[in-house]
Chain A
């Protein structure tokens, strides 16, 4: 059973470009979470999605960031007009349910570097 897959693993963008990060959850999981890890910091929650619905985007910056989880295909985290401060590792996690006893399975992350 394949784990959570993220691609690309490394992404380099120049300031002002767009970054698209993809996440395929584990088979059978319909709940996806995105986290961001800035250098030397812990992971911070960004957004929680179910198929075709954004449930909680309270951790996502109001501008330039958006996320989707379409009926078919992977979840996408999109960052428009990237700035140097967006350089970080972005992790996606999935679970069968958001309940407190369910672990979240994390992908290997996408490391975004903005030059």
Chain B
């Protein structure tokens, strides 16, 4: 399975944009890029996903490199509530793609 690499931690100030990077140099053509986040003492929460094109939703934006070997989750204006561990996950089309493989993720700290 293709692997993802994320920084262990990042820090941001409230109301500033945050760019969370993810490297996935061995991604295959049928892998979707998913992002989940886990707030303290809670279960993971879906954030966004994409395949090739950039994606926007009410929570965030996902920018995918042209060669798909990396992606960036963008929080446009961080709030204290966005402090969480963010996981970048690859999900292959078909087969056992129901298994989400969580790495250590990036711990985002948001300063007031």
Q: A-side interface residues toward B, CB under 8 Å?
A: 4, 31, 33, 35, 41-45, 48, 56, 59, 91, 93, 95, 98-101, 103-109
Contact A42 B99 (CB under 8 A): no
Q: Write out the residue numbers on chain A whose beta carbons fall within 8 Å of the beta carbon of B91.
A: 100
What are 27 A-B contacts defined by CB distance under 8 Å? A33-B98, A33-B100, A35-B102, A41-B104, A42-B87, A42-B102, A42-B103, A43-B102, A45-B100, A45-B101, A56-B96, A56-B98, A56-B99, A59-B99, A91-B43, A93-B44, A93-B100, A95-B98, A100-B32, A100-B91, A100-B92, A101-B49, A104-B46, A104-B98, A105-B46, A108-B41, A109-B43
Q: B-side interface residues toward A, CB under 8 Å?
A: 32, 34, 41-46, 49, 87, 91-94, 96-105
- CB of A79 to closest CB in B, whole Å: 19
Q: Write out the residue numbers on chain B whose beta carbons fall within 8 Å of the beta carbon of A48.
A: 98-99
- CB of A84 to closest CB in B, whole Å: 21
A52 to B22: give the CA distance in the assembly, Å: 38
A50 to B38: give the CA distance in the assembly, Å: 25
Q: Write out the residue numbers on chain B whose beta carbons fall within 8 Å of the beta carbon of A108.
A: 41-43
Q: Write out the residue numbers on chain B whose beta carbons fall within 8 Å of the beta carbon of A105.
A: 46
Most buried by B among A31, A43, A48: A43
- CB of A11 to closest CB in B, whole Å: 15
A33 to B105: give the CA distance in the assembly, Å: 20
Question: In the complex, given contacts A100-B93, A106-B43, what are 4 additional A-B residue pairs having Cβ atoms less than 8 angstroms apart?
Answer: A42-B105, A100-B32, A100-B97, A104-B98
Contact A98 B102 (CB under 8 A): no
